[in-house]
Each structure stands twice: as C-alpha cells, then as structure tokens.
A = this chain, B = another copy of it.
Amino acid sequence: MRIDPVKGTRDFYPDKMRFRNWFFETCRRVSLLFGYEEYDGPFLELLELYARKSGEELVNEQTYTLTSRGDDPETLAIRPEMTPTLARMVAARQQEIRKPIRWFSIPNCWRYEAPQRGRRREFNQYNVDILGVESLDADAEILAVTVRILRELGLEQGEFVIRISNRYYLETLFQEIGASESVFPDLLRQIDRIEKLKPEEFCANLLELGLATLQVDALLKRLNDRSYAGFEPLEQLFEKLEQYGIADYTRFDPHIARGLLYYTGTVFEIWDQSKNLRRAVAGGGRYDDLVTDLGGTRLPGVGIAFSDVVIEQMLEQRKKAPVLPREIDIYVAQYQPTLRGQAIAIAQSLREAGFRTEMNVLDVGLDKQLKAAAAGGAQYAIILAPDEMARGEVNVKNLRTREQLAVPMEGLATFLSQNNDSSLNKEV
C-alpha cells in the first residue's frame, strides 16, 4: 500500500528540482553581487522565539509545534518564518559581527494554512536583510536587490509592482483622525486586510474598534490619498529609489500595513500585476526593535522574503518559466555486458577529465542505451564494441549530428575536449 506525502507539501522530482535550484541560485547570485553573505539557522526553534513578536495569528494558528523529547520537555516550533532566527543569531553575537550586517538565507518554512494556488504549507523562502543602518539607504538597497532578482528571473517592469508604505505614516493618519493610541495595532491589522474585506466590512470593523463614523470616513479618505508629501521617511525613500533606478517598479500605497507585529517603519509588498490575478507575492519591512526584543541591544533592520511557489506561477502564466533539461556530457554504451569493465575504466577517465559521464549498467541493447543517452542530454555517446576494442578504439557518436567516428582509446578525453559538433562532423 502506498503512503501519501503530507498535505500541503511538494515532492521535488528532478525536473522540479532543477527549477528550484535555478530560482534560488539566481537569488544567491544577486545577493552576492550586492555583497550579502549567506547564513542558516535550525529548522526548529523554541516557540517562545515567535511568541514574542510575530503576532497571534502566526503563532497560534499557523505554527506547527511539538514537544521536545527528553527529561526537560520544551515547546518547539517548526520555523514559520526566518526573521526571528536571524534576530536571535545576531543578538547572540552582536558585538563581534561587523555592521552593517548584510545577510541572506534560503530556509524551508512551514505554516498551517489551507493549501491553495500559490500557497503551500511547506515552502522554501528566500530572505534578505540588512541590519545596523538607521537611514533609508537600507530600505532602498533591499528593494534594489529584490528588483534585480525579479528581473534576472525574467519578470519585467509592469509585470510586478512594489507597493510601499510606512507604519509611522499610517500612525500619523490615526493621530489626525484622533484615534486612541491603544487601537493603533488593531487599525494596522484592519488595513492589512483592507483588500480582502468588503468596504462595509472594513468600516464595520473600525466602528467596532470604537471609531466614530466621522473618523472612519476621514481615515478612508486619507487611505485613498496617494500623496506622502511632507512625510520625510517616504520622501527620502523614493528619492533613493530614483538613485537606484528602480522608482518605476515601485509606488506609494497606504493600503499596505503588513501583518507581523514586529514591523516598525517602512513596509512593502510585491504584487503580481497580471490582469486576472492581482495578488501579493512577497512582503517585508523594517523591524528596528526586534533584536532588542530578542535580547540584543538596539539594531535597526529591514528585509524581505519571498518563496518560489508563487513566482514560479507568475513565470508559468507568462510562459517565461525556463525549460531546464537534464545535462550530461557523455554517455558510455556497450554492445555487450562483457565490456562493462572496460566501460568503467573509460567512464572514470572521462570523469577525471571533467566530463559529466553516465554509463550504461543494464543488460539492454544499444538502441535503448542511445535513447537513454539522448534523454540525458548527452552530446556524445562512446560506444564500446568488441572489434574496435581489439584495435584499441571506441566509437564516438555525436548525438546531435548523428556522425560516428572510431577514436583511439588513449587520448579519448583529449579528443573530446578539442572537438565540438562541427569539427567532428568535418573530420568524418
């Protein structure tokens, strides 16, 4: 009887794995290009790490927990996100690490959610963060890394947009309408859900928080006002985005508030701009107090995270997902199994010379072997046959041109290094 995979997970068969590797290698390459260093933390953390600042929904509803084994059981959590681990690690070595800290990571994370299009319970997530910079240079740099990655993945201007807001800006609106400071977190939470709610639901929720109709109307008016004039952090940020040459990928949008508790200033979300399906692809922001909350001294931070799932769908929708076939260089075939020993020696010498070499180890005919060679993407098949072997030669078949040539076994690697499709063709 078969056993199913756990709901909400993915099996990465080699074709899917090639996509995942391409995706995260692109993230890795761009991160290094901007001077970022890779880190990783454990897959399990004490639940307390998230309980402090990630917010109720994430901790109580979405986090997978278990009790540790042993004499002194503790409540462990499967990491639902990476930022608390980052802040914990930084806090533990805060003095010795050179600032600013530019780090990235590609963790596997879990959240208990209804599996749906673009959302799984298990996901691999790219995280990039900069800590130790008070100025908006940090926020702009993180967004520049993000734009560069999305461009290298094949997405262009107009296909996605980065919607930017600032929690302090939103709080000035709350102050303007005379809302009590005690409801600020609730107001942020409502704004974070504004586009998932019907307008009357949103208003009803605000009234329930104790706001008067007049206040609700005033807030709505301000939330639809797309000018941040006079709010310096946003003015500075957009100026820096101009300097980075990425302002056209971004826009101010006071509907963005983000759900996590720990965000402080700038918050942003990347949105898919396809006509059928506008949706958030990624999000991030500033968390200037998180390192302090996790036992360090003040160290401002800003970061963003995105997973492969939803961006893969964006690329597929636009027919931009790359075709990534398997790629070996050489396939070593044999007319008969008695030549296996010599095939092993030849395959090993080709690997020693750096060729990605697969060899046949089944008792099947040459036809099947050559089909396997083609399926592997090999350029050449080396065919061992008794007569040629007796003369110290092997057949080299170019699988693209179908040309075949007998080549002395000694110097085979050199021959293959010096020849490409066309020259082998010519010699024949």
Given A33-B351, A358-B35, A362-B100, the answer on whether A69 and B112 have CB atoms closer than 8 Å is: yes
Given A48-B3, A88-B3, the answer on whether A10 and B42 have CB atoms closer than 8 Å is: yes
A243 proximal to B (CB < 8 A) = yes
Contact B141 A243 (CB under 8 A): no
Expressed in whole angstroms, the Cα–Cα distance for A148 and B38 within the complex equals 27
Within 8 Å CB of A93, what residues of B? 13
Residue of B nearest to A145 (CB): B351
Interface string of A22-54 (1 = CB under 8 A from B): 000000000011110111111111101100100
Expressed in whole angstroms, the Cα–Cα distance for A93 and B375 within the complex equals 17
Within 8 Å CB of A9, what residues of B? 41-44
Contact B348 A144 (CB under 8 A): yes
Work out how many copies of this chain go into the complex. 2
Within 8 Å CB of A103, what residues of B? 14
Contact A6 B340 (CB under 8 A): no
Residue of B nearest to A343 (CB): B243
Within 8 Å CB of A354, what residues of B? 33
Expressed in whole angstroms, the Cα–Cα distance for A92 and B2 within the complex equals 8
Residue of B nearest to A361 (CB): B137
Residue of B nearest to A35 (CB): B358
Within 8 Å CB of A10, what residues of B? 42
Contact A112 B70 (CB under 8 A): yes
Within 8 Å CB of A1, what residues of B? 295
What is the CB-to-nearest-CB distance from A342 to chain B, in angstroms, rounded to a whole number? 8
Indicate which residue in B13, B110, B341, B359 contacts A44 across the interface (CB closer than 8 Å).
B110
Interface stretch of the complex, out of A60-68, A185-193, A393-401, A405-413: A60-68
What is the CB-to-nearest-CB distance from A165 to chain B, in angstroms, rounded to a whole number? 22
Interface string of A365-402 (1 = CB under 8 A from B): 00000001001100000000000000000000000000
Within 8 Å CB of A41, what residues of B? 5, 9, 11-12
A–B complex contacts, Cβ < 8 Å, 25 sampled: A3-B294, A3-B295, A5-B88, A6-B42, A6-B76, A11-B41, A11-B92, A20-B40, A21-B38, A32-B356, A33-B355, A34-B351, A43-B43, A43-B110, A44-B64, A44-B78, A64-B66, A70-B112, A100-B361, A135-B361, A135-B363, A137-B340, A144-B348, A148-B351, A243-B345
16 further contact pairs, Cβ within 8 A, besides A3-B88, A11-B89: A1-B295, A3-B49, A4-B46, A5-B45, A6-B44, A9-B42, A11-B40, A11-B92, A17-B37, A32-B356, A34-B351, A34-B356, A35-B328, A135-B361, A144-B348, A243-B345
What is the interface of chain A, defined by CB distance below 8 A to chain B? 1-7, 9-14, 17-18, 20-21, 32-35, 37-46, 48-49, 52, 64-66, 68-70, 74, 76, 78, 88-89, 91-93, 97-100, 102-103, 108, 110, 112, 122, 132-133, 135, 137-138, 140-141, 144, 148, 239-240, 243-245, 294-296, 326, 328, 331, 340-341, 344-345, 348, 351, 354-359, 361-363, 372, 375-376
